[in-house]
Structure 1
Amino acid sequence: MKQLVLAASIFGLLACSPQGNAQLNDRELDTQYLENMGFTIESVKPSSVTGLYEVITNQGLIYVADDGKKLIGGRIYDITGSEPVNLSEEVVKEMRRTDVKTVADEAIVYQAEDEAYVVTVFTDPTCGYCRQLHTNIDSYLNKGISIHYLAWPRSGLQGSGYEQLKTIWCSADKGAALTAAKSDKRLPAASCDDPIAKHFALGNKFGVRGTPSMVLPSGEMIPGLVNADRLLEALEQAQ
């Protein structure tokens, strides 16, 4: 059932932005059917299952077969060991690790003095749990966990959260503006070529469904609020 829900969420977030066919091992995989559905194709390569191809799109990882004519929802597990291994999750984690680097210079950074880890957090100033995290941010910094904020307006690219995020990222002091917004203080007007839509699209690609969502250096994503002690434990286990 969880896999069916995941597949439905992918189709519900389609965006029209066609590209040309993807190159695959010196031959062309026909991506026209995916493009007709609104997927933007970023990469294609053979999966660990013969005849099945791993496709990274603007909405994350999907699988296709039969020369691009069949779309398969779900995840691939290696069940040869004592415990199933989610091979698809390893692909997704690599995708997140790579993509986070592309927006690193757009993040609002709270850096730990003795930095041991960097955690990227998708945030919305109207989210109560995001405010709770921000109020307690020193507890993360004191454990060597730097917090890099990206924007993910829960109501989409509209509404008060979206407008506040635009103002925050256009402010001269973004950190102060973020703190003010999460404390219900009025923000001075500011406008610029902001990255909010880009961050929102990236969050959707990563599988963000609410805020806060934390992306660890391993590429693992933790949905929801996790206190500093539990987050440090998760970071240590993910190494």
Structure 2
Amino acid sequence: MRLARISAAAVLGLITMMASAETAQEASIRKLVEARLGGDAKVDAVAKTPYAGLFEVRIGSDILYTDAKADYLFVGRVIDAKTHEDYTKARVDDLTRVKFSDLPLESAVKTVKGNGKRVIAVFEDPNCGYCKRFRHTLQEVDNITVYTFMYNILAEDSAVKSKNVWCSADRAKAWDDWMLNGKAPAAAPAGCSADPNAKIRALGEKLKVTGTPTIIFTDGSRIPGAVDAKTLEGKLASLK
């Protein structure tokens, strides 16, 4: 089969299947790469790819490539020159896929617009400018339910602001008041100590959420950054 006719999904399936049982050559490459990276480098898996004789080297959700002797490391994306399919992106998307039903939605701020049939989860920091931009974008989108996980990674007072929102009588309004209008929530009453800050911080780290906003969709895929309304609508429309 010519490479141009191999879809990203097919390539992904081949790599996943091959990675399930590491060969002696792949094990050897893994040890060589770890030695050449030095320090505490830990390669999670090595798998031969269907293109250009390269081997995929996976470190967490990061993908590198190497040759059969591990003499060279290639950092970047493998893109089919004829179909423009991005095989690396497809692979990373698969590695970072989230089981949406496992998300602790009870620990998120819930906002419903219109019929709320379309659902997303978003990791946001109250001090994140791009998150505020995305909240303005959401004003243009109807018939959506948004679960906001307050992910405090940018400033020391992020957790304080998130706790104040969580302890508000109307969390969704308090969050929008702050993110859209700069109106700070009232200080949390002394008796409010059940905010999920630590739980969400641990969740984000487990899911390798490295920046805010990060949008997670019901199919488990994610988009980092403040996408515009057209991009968001397009993604939502593509979901079953």
Q: Which band: TM-score by shorter chain? A: 0.5 to 0.7
Counterparts of 1:190-229 in structure 2, within 5 Å, are: 190=193, 193-200=198-205, 202-204=208-210, 208=211, 211-216=212-217, 217=219, 219=221, 221=223, 223-227=225-229
CA contact (8 A) 1:55 1:61 kept: yes
Displacement of 1:136 in angstroms is 7.1
User: Unaligned 5+ residue runs, structure 1?
Assistant: 1-21
Is the radius of gyration larger for structure 1 or structure 2? Answer: 2
Residue 63 of structure 2, aligned match among 57, 61, 64: 61
Tell me the TM-score normalised to structure 1 length.
Answer: 0.61
Q: 1:23–1:87: structure 2 CA closer, same or farther, 3 Å change rule?
A: closer
More strand by share: 1
Displacement of 1:47 in angstroms is 2.5
Q: Does 2:93 match 1:93?
A: yes
- Quick one: distance in 2 between partners of 1:214 and 1:51? 35
SS in 1 for 2:92: helix
CA contact (8 A) 1:119 1:214 kept: yes
Counterparts of 1:103-114 in structure 2, within 5 Å, are: 104-105=103-104, 108=108, 109-110=110-111, 114=115
CA contact (8 A) 1:125 1:161 kept: yes
SS in 2 for 1:146: strand
Counterparts of 1:113-192 in structure 2, within 5 Å, are: 114-131=115-132, 133-134=134-135, 140=141, 142-143=142-143, 145-153=144-152, 155=154, 158-165=155-162, 167=163, 175-176=171-172, 178=175, 182=179, 183-188=183-188, 190=193
Q: 1:58–1:173: structure 2 CA closer, same or farther, 3 Å change rule?
A: farther
Q: 1:113–1:43: structure 2 CA closer, same or farther, 3 Å change rule?
A: farther
CA contact (8 A) 1:120 1:215 kept: yes
CA contact (8 A) 1:115 1:146 kept: yes
CA contact (8 A) 1:121 1:212 kept: yes
SS in 1 for 2:126: coil
SS in 2 for 1:195: helix
Match of 1:19 in 2: none
Deviations 1:126-163 (A, max 9, x none): 234434544675754x32x33233444452xx522255
Tell me the TM-score normalised to structure 2 length.
Answer: 0.61
Match of 1:236 in 2: 237
